[in-house]
């Protein structure tokens, strides 16, 4: 690891931390710009009760002081108390939901990447033939379909009409449909990325050299072409994380999976501001860290890429 790379690593890390701080600040100040107090929406309460509750949650102090306190607490892993699910801390609820979301999201992401790489490579090798055209039409259609349309149509066909799979996430096999609906869009995206990257690599001189030397074509494809064509897919890891995490908000609602996305939409219904802030910051941190990791990995995998 040379010093130039280390400098890049540090710079990129600082950038990620700054972005996380900004997200926290934006989240905090946007939520505090709302005129209504989190307690005023609830059923008839006397002013004294509201004031007592606000004092309990620290809402009576000036906003900058509250912000500093909030920041300090987050660093200790304390996102405050939930007002919508009384008696629970925000972090407990987040972790409970995340165990579901992580399972669905990780599987969906893995399926998307593996299938995407296979389909994209096949399309590139079959360039211009029928199989390539079929794959291209399918991926174009898939990237034009929002996640909620995909999920509801899958639910309609496979759970309600055909009855092959359960429609609720807590039944055995119930996570299959949510995983499929979350993985189709990223899969199509990876396929397109991989196809163009593979085409690019197949046109390189070293592939021609390898072929000219008489290397078996399977070896050329797997050892030379595939390995070198995978780098652009790495850059998609961050955006894919963002897609899967936000997509799970609708997908978990459609299939009633008690994950983080569903928790988030429920906390919006219950106007639980501490939860909304906590989940936003949690999800944003995941996305920003994923972007950071994929950037670093990209540079590690392909040393030719110039560090800037």
The contact set with other proteins (CB under 8 A) reads 15-16, 18-19, 22-23, 26-27, 30-31, 33-36, 140-141, 143-149, 152-153, 155-156, 160-161, 196, 199, 242, 246, 249-250, 253-254, 264-265, 268-269, 276, 280, 283-284, 287-288, 291
In whole angstroms, the minimum distance from the beta carbon of 137 to other proteins comes to: 11
Kindly tell me which of 183 and 271 has the beta carbon lying closer to other proteins: 271
CB atoms within 10 A of CB 239: 15
Query: Do 50 and 40 form a contact (C-beta atoms < 8 A)?
Result: yes
Structure tokens at 40: 């005023």
Q: Using the minimum distance from each CB to other proteins, give the nearer residue, 121 or 210.
A: 121
210 vs 272 by CB, closer to other proteins: 272
CB 200, min distance to other proteins, A: 8
Shortest separation between residue 301's beta carbon and other proteins, angstroms: 21
Distance (Å, rounded) from C-alpha 242 to C-alpha 297?
18
- Asked whether 97 and 253 are in contact (CB, 8 A), the reply is no
Task: Decide whether 10 or 34 has the Cβ nearer to other proteins.
Answer: 34
Cβ 254 to other proteins shortest distance, Å: 7
Nearer to other proteins, 23 or 118 (CB): 23
Closest CA to 195 of 138, 111, 110: 138
Per DSSP, the three-state class of 220 is: helix
d(CA 264, CA 98): 11
Q: Check if the beta carbon of residue 257 is closer than 8 Å to that of residue 178.
A: yes
Q: Residue 131 CB, nearest distance to other proteins (Å)?
A: 18
Residue 88 vs 246, nearer CB to other proteins: 246
- Closest distance to other proteins from the beta carbon of 19 (Å): 5
Q: Closest distance between other proteins and the C-beta of residue 148, in Å?
A: 5
CB of 52 or CB of 160, closer to other proteins:
160
Name which of 248, 151, 244, 152 is nearest 190 in CA terms: 244
Asked whether the beta carbons of 275 and 93 are under 8 A apart, the reply is yes
Instruction: Tell me if 178 sits within 8 A of 253, measured CB to CB.
Output: no
Q: Which is nearer to other proteins, 107 or 266 (CB)?
A: 266
For CA atoms 181, 185, 191, 193, the dihedral sign is negative
Q: How far is CA 78 from CA 18, 181, 205, 248, 293, in A?
A: 20, 33, 55, 24, 25
Q: For residue 113, what are the CA distances in angstroms to 31, 109, 246?
A: 36, 6, 18
- Least distance to other proteins from the beta carbon of 98, Å? 15
Look at the chain and count its residues: 308
Q: Are residues 94 and 260 in contact, defined by beta-carbon separation less than 8 angstroms?
A: yes
């Amino acid at each position: 690891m040379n010093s130039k790379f280390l400098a890049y690593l540090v710079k990129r890390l600082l950038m990620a931390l700054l972005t996380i701080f900004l997200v926290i600040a934006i989240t905090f100040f946007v939520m505090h710009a709302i005129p209504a107090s989190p307690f005023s929406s609830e059923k008839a309460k006397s002013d004294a009760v509201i004031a007592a509750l606000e004092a309990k949650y620290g809402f009576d102090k000036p906003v900058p002081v509250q912000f500093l306190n909030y920041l300090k607490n987050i660093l200790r892993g304390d996102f405050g108390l939930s007002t919508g699910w009384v008696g629970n801390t925000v972090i407990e609820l987040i972790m409970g939901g995340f165990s579901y979301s992580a399972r669905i999201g990780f599987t969906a992401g893995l399926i998307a990447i593996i299938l995407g790489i296979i389909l994209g490579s096949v399309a590139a090798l079959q360039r211009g033939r029928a199989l390539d055209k079929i794959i291209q039409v399918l991926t174009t259609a898939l990237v034009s379909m929002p996640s909620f349309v995909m999920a509801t149509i899958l639910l309609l066909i496979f759970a309600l009409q055909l009855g092959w799979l359960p429609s609720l996430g807590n039944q055995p096999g119930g996570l299959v449909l949510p995983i499929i609906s979350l993985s189709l869009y990223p899969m199509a995206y990876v396929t397109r990325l991989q196809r163009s990257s593979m085409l690019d690599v197949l046109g390189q001189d070293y592939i021609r050299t390898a072929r000219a030397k008489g290397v078996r074509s399977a070896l050329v494809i797997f050892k030379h072409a595939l390995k070198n064509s995978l780098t652009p897919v790495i850059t998609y890891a961050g955006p894919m994380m963002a897609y899967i995490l936000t997509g799970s908000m609708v997908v978990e609602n459609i299939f009633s999976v008690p994950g983080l996305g569903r928790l988030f939409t429920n906390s919006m219904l219950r106007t639980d501001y501490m939860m909304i802030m906590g989940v936003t910051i949690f999800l944003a941190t995941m996305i920003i860290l994923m972007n950071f990791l994929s950037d670093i990995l990209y540079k590690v995998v392909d040393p030719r890429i110039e560090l800037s």
